[in-house]
Amino acid sequence: QSVLTQPPSASGFPGQRVTISCSGSTSNIGRNFVYWYQQLAGAAPKLLLHRNDERPSGVPDRFSGSKSGTSASLVISGLQSEDESLYFCASWDDILTGPMFGGGTKLTVL
Amino acid sequence: QVQLQESGPGLVQPSQTLSLTCSVSGVSITNGIYYWSWIRQYPERGLEWIGYVYYGGRAYLNPSLKSRLSMSMDTSKNQFSLRLSSVTAADTAVYYCARLVATTFPFYVDSWGQGTLVSVSS
């Protein structure tokens, strides 16, 4: 089960900036990179950010990330209707010896 | 472009064994920079890493599932598989196969299959 904590929901109007948080511990976020995934309804998750703040090819620069201590954030600037999706964070956990995931945040564009 | 596709029964009876296969295209599962993983997503959205396997057949399994779990690879078919025994309703979830990038540690998931819903019910 998820041990990275995310708010279950977030919302914003088109054009606004939205921040989604992800909280972990010293065995995961505190020592390792954070990754963010976007999961559109009925689709497979897609890698959105890796190594805390790096965007894979094709991901708009409206998406950015940061990490501090045992927490991380995903920021979406200039919110668009197509950003309405489920977002979840992940980080390698040294105790589990595998990836740990957040519970996911459902973003609604108002 | 890698593609992963899960296959297997959508309904499993309690106490039976859940078996899933992931067919991989676009890359050989013997490519040493990738490991091959299973992840499941519960109805309430939570995700759980199940385990991963890599060329050579070694598997790393989630300790909470290890006693019921086995994973294997079939390099001739470019597939890898999952077997979870003694299932209960708590194992009902969408099961994803995924690719782990293992060029540097720690590893991370960069590609996912579409997922397959497995329900445990009589």
Three-class secondary structure of residue B91 per DSSP: helix
**Mean pLDDT in residue range A69-97:** 95
Chain B, nearest residue to A95 by Cα:
B63
Q: Burial letters for B85-120: b for 16+ Cβ neighbours within 10 Å, e otherwise?
A: eebeeebbbbbbbbbbbbeeebbbbbbbbebbebeb
Question: Does pLDDT of B62 surpass 80?
Answer: yes
Q: What pLDDT score does A3 carry?
A: 81
Q: Which residues contact A91 (CB under 8 A, 6 or more apart)?
A: A4, A24, A28, A29, A32, A33, A34, A35, A72, A99, A100
pLDDT, tens only, A9-20 = 999 999 999 999
8 Å CB contact between B108 and A98: no
What does the pLDDT average to over A85-94?
A: 94
Closest-CA distance, B88 to chain A, in angstroms, reads 16
> Which pLDDT value is given to residue A2?
56
A32, A45, A96 ranked by CB distance to B62: nearest: A96
Q: What is the mean pLDDT of chain A?
A: 94
User: Cα separation of B17 and B54, whole Å?
Assistant: 22
Chain B CB contacts of A33 under 8 Å are 106, 108
Which residue stretches of A1-110 are H helix?
none
The DSSP-derived string for B29-63 is: TT-TTEEEEEEEE-TTS-EEEEEEE-TTS-EEE-T
Instruction: In whole angstroms, give the CA distance from residue B7 to residue B74.
Output: 14
State the nearest Cα–Cα gap between B10 and chain A, in angstroms.
17
Kindly report, residue by residue over B23-49, the tens digit of the pLDDT: 999 999 999 899 999 999 988 778 899
Contact B116, B9 (CB under 8 A): no
Cα B67 to Cα B74: distance, rounded to the nearest angstrom? 22
Chain B 45-84, CB below 8 Å of chain A: which residues?
45-49, 51-52, 60, 62-63
Contact B102, B54 (CB under 8 A): yes
* Cβ contact B96–A56 (<8 Å): no
